[in-house]
Structure 1
Amino acid sequence: MMKKITALFVFLVQVVGAQNYTEYATGSTVDVTTNHEFGICMMGGASENDNAMIWFLNRADGGDVVVLRASGSDGYNDYFYSDLGVTINSVTTFVIQNEAGATDPYVLQKVANAEAIWFAGGDQFDYVSFFKDNAMEDTLNAFINTKQGVIGGTSAGMAILGSAYFSAENGTVTNAQALSNPYHNRMTLGYNDFLEIPFLEHVITDSHYDDPDRSARHATFLARYATDNNTRAFGIACNEYTAVCINELGRAYVYGEYPDYPEFAFFLQSNCVDDFLPETCVEGQPLTWNHSGEAIKVAKIPGLYSAENYIDLTDWSNSQGVIWEDWSVVNGTFANANSTNPNCDLLSVSETEMIFMSISPNPFQDTISIESQLHDFNVIIYDSFGKQVAKFQNQFEIDTTNLSSGLYFFSVFSEDFKETFKLIKP
């Protein structure tokens, strides 16, 4: 850890390049390298939950924070730098006005050098327009997956964090519009073409869930994703004063002030059945996604001051403090009901108790050892996005030196056996 520097503390406002961006800088002008940690923090869109923001800043380990926004000014600078009691090196806010501002070499370097990146609220289509399919997208994904810094956002800044997203290109969409026609011209969705954040694959986020005009449209987002991609869909949403913080192991903790206030986060998933697709999801017709009232399994989690309640995003089932619900839609009418933990396995792994199988160590470094009575088996390694990165046959010692740090799923299978192991490479 390199923190022994002579710091120069400044507050700088800089307007650059015919209003391409405005910079607000607080703290040291000297970059530092710290033992930062990966994490994801998502806020529901009102004033920030201080405990969640402290969690976010602590992941930076005294490093540099960059705030990206398309409107507003320096509201986060003092809040992050001095109000929360967490020592950090600097806070730099960039108010980006266009793609030229987002791809300015100076801005890109600041983003690359940061240990924490926060997306403010506003209009998410500005972020899609300014940050996607250019050098900023590349820099953000390198920050997330190579540098493994902590990233987060609120409202519109939360909306862009899933691998799928509502772009709001044609403005917002209401429950009624979405339910009456899942392909309404305001149902503008992007799929797997922007940010690549571990644990948020196949996930569409939403915020401001206190607004009753949110949950049904969010269900429709999932129906569209499942239909258009022929795969199970997932969602994460927050009430306005609630935050979800996801650590490097994929455990999502919920911050809020429950029971003093009704503050919840919601974790949506297509029911884990073979026939999970909506019954009717076509242009010009009302949505029906029913499956006997169990189309979508929802974990409604109260946000506590201590954030003790959680759900594990590696299986979307292991959890604490969850209120389970079933959501469904019939001919454009949304309904919900109490339910139970579906015990869904994201990777659809079948477990066989009669066959012994062990993989160690965990965490691992350069070698993985397999112990089993099986002699004819295959091993496929997937990264946290579900992408296959390696395949082996009948190997009890596997060289993992080429794997970068991160979460991996080791799928071991034969004709009559299949089991998946979750391992971490620090």
Structure 2
Amino acid sequence: MKRITLLGLLSLQICFAQNYTEYQTGSTTDISTDHQQGVCLMGGATEQHDAMIWFLNKASGGDVVVLRTSGSDGYNDYFYTDLGVTVNSVTTFVIHNSAGANDPYVLEKVANAEAIWFAGGDQYDYVSYFKDIAMEDALNNYVNSKQGVIGGTSAGLAILGGSYFTAQNGTVTNAQALNDPYHSRMTLGYNDFLSIPYLNNVITDSHYDDPDRRARHSVMLARIATDNTTRSFGIACNEYTAVCVEPDGKAYVYGEYPAYDEFAYFLQANCASDFQPETCVSGSPLTWDRNGEAIKVYKVPGTESGVNYFDLSDWETGSGGDWRDWSIDNGVFTSVESINPECSSLTVTENSLSKIRFFPNPFVESIQIESEVAFNSVHLMDVLGNSISVKLQSDNTINMSSLSTGVYFLRLKSDMMIQVFSLVKK
């Protein structure tokens, strides 16, 4: 029988409730620390220790909360003693239902945490237990107001994107997704659950060693682009690989390459005016080809030092990886070598086909549009596809002085066509 010490730094307290089970290790007195923000995405197998050390260091010695819907206390000793990082406590809650997630005591522990980790399991349990209740608000407040570190593995990773695969009707295979992007198992959620910096319009996936992952993930991006009329993005990890996102948007990749083929993948719909799938309808195979360049993918090897990275603030800058083009033609998935799409370097200030010109580009405060064709709507998006409210003035200028520096996409619609242009704010 396991000996339980009730006092001292190595204490373990196990509490049972009808709606949740609690496992507590360390101090029972809450403390506040100078914690840091960040996101850790783990690939789904045994945890990558260097990434987990990064995660725990963000807590700055504070309290760690593990949320799961199955299993028990497997993370308690691992986080509290095995990694050599000092933390005040580790508390695991195994949530059995929505009432457990909504329990005031559980919500208080979440609010007081300096690090929150989601275990694996069934992601639909997380969605159905945590979404649209006080737990959802508590998690979003923790990430965006308290600015604490958050992470997860496998199913716990799958729920962290602004877009997410719910698995409500079970998992989905490559073949099912490719042959019908609206298959009954292709259940997706869009920007209605967790809101985590740099992960809006991003759909995450794990276990990428499994060949039955990349094509279905691409179909998910096709659905997002179709259903929301916006560029879609994805992040995925091989099983023993982790992506750790710093507050500046740089996503560092941890693994044991070159000893093992451990990679992370950063997917994005090509930054072209015609980025949407050619055929994405219920009951028909997907075609998202766009001359073989539908999806631009940056593949990054993970190392123990986590030196290689991809910058989620521009979805273009990276180090240590290489580019691929993924495409799908009538349900057949293809991957080939490619180059950086260099979205921010697109000049496109003149286009003879559209007879639309805008200047200056790059701009500082405003742009001027000259057009020989009448357009009836103006839409501005950031690199993650988030809509930004802008107004076209009577002199055909748009004031964008309030924008942060970076890359934006201007979408102009006329009766005959839709044109998308890349803009750079200095």
Give the TM-score, by structure 1 length.
0.83
Are 2:383 and 2:408, in contact at CA under 8 Å, matched by a contact in 1?
no
- The answer to whether 1:130 aligns with 2:111 is no
Measure how far apart 1:323 and its partner are: 1.4
Q: Go from structure 1 to structure 2 and tell me whether the alpha carbon gap of 1:293 and 1:199 turns closer, same or farther (over 3 Å shift).
A: same
Q: Go from structure 1 to structure 2 and tell me whether the alpha carbon gap of 1:251 and 1:281 turns closer, same or farther (over 3 Å shift).
A: same
Tell me the distance in 2 between the aligned counterparts of 1:104 and 1:275. 47
Match of 2:98 in 1: 99
Unaligned runs of 5+ in 1: 1-5, 359-369, 375-379, 401-406, 422-426
Report the AA paired with residue 191 of structure 2: N
CA RMSD between the two structures: 3.3
Are 1:278 and 1:289, in contact at CA under 8 Å, matched by a contact in 2?
yes
Tell me the distance in 1 between the aligned counterparts of 2:362 and 2:333. 46
Tell me the distance in 2 between the aligned counterparts of 1:341 and 1:177. 31
Q: Go from structure 1 to structure 2 and tell me whether the alpha carbon gap of 1:410 and 1:270 turns closer, same or farther (over 3 Å shift).
A: closer
Tell me the distance in 2 between the aligned counterparts of 1:347 and 1:31. 51
- The answer to whether 1:281 aligns with 2:286 is no
Q: Go from structure 1 to structure 2 and tell me whether the alpha carbon gap of 1:385 and 1:81 turns closer, same or farther (over 3 Å shift).
A: farther
Q: Go from structure 1 to structure 2 and tell me whether the alpha carbon gap of 1:385 and 1:136 turns closer, same or farther (over 3 Å shift).
A: farther
Tell me the SS of whatever aligns to 1:185: coil
Measure how far apart 1:390 and its partner are: 11
- The answer to whether 1:14 aligns with 2:19 is no
Unaligned runs of 5+ in 2: 1-6, 350-357, 368-379, 410-421
Tell me the SS of whatever aligns to 2:11: strand
Measure how far apart 1:353 and its partner are: 11
**What percent identity do the matched residue pairs reach?**
64
**How many residues are treated as equivalent by the alignment?**
386
Q: Deviations over 1:304-359 (max 9, x none)?
A: 11111111001111110111100000110101000011112499998x9989977x
Tell me the distance in 2 between the aligned counterparts of 1:349 and 1:59. 42
Q: Go from structure 1 to structure 2 and tell me whether the alpha carbon gap of 1:346 and 1:59 turns closer, same or farther (over 3 Å shift).
A: farther
Match of 2:77 in 1: 78
Match of 1:269 in 2: 268
Report the AA paired with residue 11 of structure 1: L
Q: Deviations over 1:249-273 (max 9, x none)?
A: 0000000000000000000000010
Q: Go from structure 1 to structure 2 and tell me whether the alpha carbon gap of 1:357 and 1:104 turns closer, same or farther (over 3 Å shift).
A: same
Report the AA paired with residue 263 of structure 1: E
Tell me the SS of whatever aligns to 2:84: coil
Tell me the SS of whatever aligns to 1:60: coil
Question: Where in structure 2 are the equivalents of 1:16-165 lying within 5 Å?
Answer: 16=17, 18=18, 20-165=19-164
Tell me the distance in 2 between the aligned counterparts of 1:281 and 1:355. 34
Report the AA paired with residue 27 of structure 2: S
Tell me the distance in 2 between the aligned counterparts of 1:66 and 1:409. 36
Q: Deviations over 1:261-301 (max 9, x none)?
A: 00000000000100000000000000000011110000010
Give the TM-score, by structure 2 length.
0.83
Match of 1:304 in 2: 303
Q: Go from structure 1 to structure 2 and tell me whether the alpha carbon gap of 1:140 and 1:294 turns closer, same or farther (over 3 Å shift).
A: same
Q: Deviations over 1:350-382 (max 9, x none)?
A: 8x9989977xxxxxxxxxxx9x9x9xxxxx998
